Amino acid sequence: MSATLRVHSPANGSFVGEVPLDTPETVRAAVERARDAQVEWGLRPVAERAEVILRVRRKMLDATDTIVENAARESGKPRHEGLLHEVMPQLELLSYFGLEAERILAPSPIPMRLLKHRASYLHYRPRGVVGIIAPWNFPNHLGFGGVAMALVAGNAVVLKPSEFTPLSAQILRKVYLDAGVPEGCLQVVNGYGDIGAALVTAGVDMVEFTGSVATGRKVAAACGERLIPCVLELGGKAPALVMEDADTRRTLEAVLWGGFANAGQVCASIERLVVHQAVYDTFVPKLVARVKSLRVGDASQPGEIDVGPLVNQRQLEIVTALVDDAVARGAKVACGGKRIEGPGFFYAPTVLTDVTADMDIVNKETFGPVVPVMKVGSEAEAILEANRSHLGLLAYVFTRSGSRGRRLAEQIRCGTVMVNDVLATAAAPETPWAGLKASGIGVAHSDDGLRHMCEARHVNYDALPWLDKELWWFPYDNGRLPLLKKALRVLYDSPLGNLL
């Protein structure tokens, strides 16, 4: 009997399902099957592949209830989050790339400045087989966003879902196959970290990884050794700057959702709340009152909930240790601050005050329902705090002034800064999703992200084909050197040269 990976609900411990466990040998076999299938798929016109992606959209709509119910059982997600975090962003991504791929991947001409008698263009060809290692916090959206983009670009995909959420991948794979994606072009392998490592070294042509900084460094090293490209999204420690002129009502609701959606298990979660001293004493109590109103519970049971469980015991221990350490070093618990007793990995939505910049809760990624609050006295201090982290994925600025918001946003070193909103660009596939500093390398989503799924090949050809030879070819003639020097003077030190 083959070994299986058993999945249990993080909310109540019940058995949810199981999948077969792969081995390094079956991973290599999956990559080879994908490589064989990719040849025909990659030769199809972009428009034909895009039609299949749009059929996936329809099939996903039909499977909405299945996806949402599985997310409630497998991940503990409230049904609103299963629908609006896992289904809706995927539908939008499938729409954007299904409708725009032909434009994005069209040959791109390159204007020639000097060599006017020649012409250049870039054309885009599939890389081959893309290995995707998906996270547990958004198994549909983060895992299959890359799947859709890789497929429409003409690649085959071997996906390794998290060992905590493998059932989502089985559902979505069936959706893709039912829509007409050739079976060999979408392989799923299951297992633990060793299977992810095996996928990176199994002969794939590109890797997309979402996960921890520590594992991301290993993936980058393995890809570097093989000289294959990788896209790494390695988490964040997003600051939210609440300036003295912020719209209190909107900012409160944004911070509440940005800090506690998906139980704070979002790489773009608000993990540092930076509040101007002029509004600190009024804003923070209002936030605490709203946090206390959040309903925590098991999404698979009847009733309305806002916040589900953490994914596993280890994540619960990480959150607990970070909060306990902060309290031991002087932070105050405004609400929450403890595990909720009973079945499941629940932690009470927490707000910490009196935190300082040297605390781990401010410097290490929490990935839980905890918002530490810091007080600042000026814009400069707020920007300094925002930029102090070694991570740089997302940041947020709240102010009534649009020009001020943009000015502050441009001073924050993050891949994306949102003004008066949180998280939402994750569902805007036309925008880039990229981290700076230790938050990753490469870009997901966006036109550039789709093109990066391809080899960009440059073609240079003769626009004036009747020339017998170029001026700089053999034989060299020293008698022409004075004339060539004069030509250089005209080209690079005269108004005429600037007009080229």
- At residue 441, φ and ψ (nearest 5 deg) are -140, 155
Q: Do 348 and 337 touch, CB atoms closer than 8 A? A: yes
Partnered with residue 132 across adjacent β-strands are 159, 208
Question: Tell me, what DSSP letter sits at residue 114?
Answer: S
Identify the pLDDT of residue 282.
98
Identify the pLDDT of residue 500.
81
Identify the pLDDT of residue 323.
98
Q: What is the mean pLDDT of residues 84-111?
A: 97
pLDDT digits (tens, 9 = 90+) for 333-380: 999 999 999 999 999 999 999 999 999 999 999 999 999 999 999 999
Q: What is the pTM of this model?
A: 0.96
Identify the pLDDT of residue 35.
98
Token output for 221 = 């090293």
Q: Give me the DSSP letters along 251-301.
A: HHHHHHHHHHGGGG--TTSEEEEEEEHHHHHHHHHHHHHHHHTPPB--TTS
Confidence of residue 328 (pLDDT cuts 50, 70, 90): very high
Confidence of residue 109 (pLDDT cuts 50, 70, 90): very high
Q: What is the mean pLDDT of residues 99-110?
A: 98
CATH number for the domain whose boundaries are 238-429: 3.40.309.10
pLDDT digits (tens, 9 = 90+) for 45-87: 999 999 999 999 999 999 999 999 999 999 999 999 999 999 9
Confidence of residue 499 (pLDDT cuts 50, 70, 90): confident
Q: What is the mean pLDDT of residues 138-160?
A: 96
pLDDT digits (tens, 9 = 90+) for 408-421: 999 999 999 999 99
Identify the pLDDT of residue 1.
40
Between CA 296 and CA 304, with CA 301 as vertex, the angle to 5 degrees is 50
pLDDT digits (tens, 9 = 90+) for 423-478: 999 999 999 999 999 999 999 999 999 999 999 999 999 998 888 899 899 999 99
Q: Is 163 a catalytic residue?
A: no
Give the C-alpha separation, 243 to 14, whole Å. 45
Identify the pLDDT of residue 498.
87
Which ranges in 126-247 belong to alpha helices (H)?
141-152, 166-178, 193-200, 213-226
Domain ranges (residues) in the chain: 4-234+445-456, 238-429
Identify the pLDDT of residue 497.
81
Say what percent of the chain tops pLDDT 90: 95
- At residue 150, φ and ψ (nearest 5 deg) are -65, -40
Give the C-alpha separation, 372 to 366, whole Å. 10
Mean pLDDT of the residues in the chain: 97
Q: Do 357 and 385 touch, CB atoms closer than 8 A? A: yes
Q: Is 233 a catalytic residue?
A: yes
Q: Does domain 4-234+445-456 have CATH number 3.40.605.10?
A: yes
Give the C-alpha separation, 231 to 211, whole Å. 11
Cα distance between the two ends of the chain: 72
From the candidates 185, 223, 230, 267, which is the catalytic residue?
Answer: 267
pLDDT digits (tens, 9 = 90+) for 220-251: 999 999 999 999 999 999 999 999 999 999 99
3-state secondary structure of 153: coil
Identify the pLDDT of residue 466.
83
Token output for 224 = 């570097």
Between 499 and 95, whose confidence is greater? 95
Q: Has residue 308 got a pLDDT over 80? A: yes
Confidence of residue 6 (pLDDT cuts 50, 70, 90): very high
- At residue 329, φ and ψ (nearest 5 deg) are -100, 15
Residues 6+ apart with CB under 8 A from 197: 218, 222
Identify the pLDDT of residue 465.
83
From the candidates 233, 365, 414, 454, which is the catalytic residue?
Answer: 233
Q: What is the mean pLDDT of residues 188-207?
A: 98
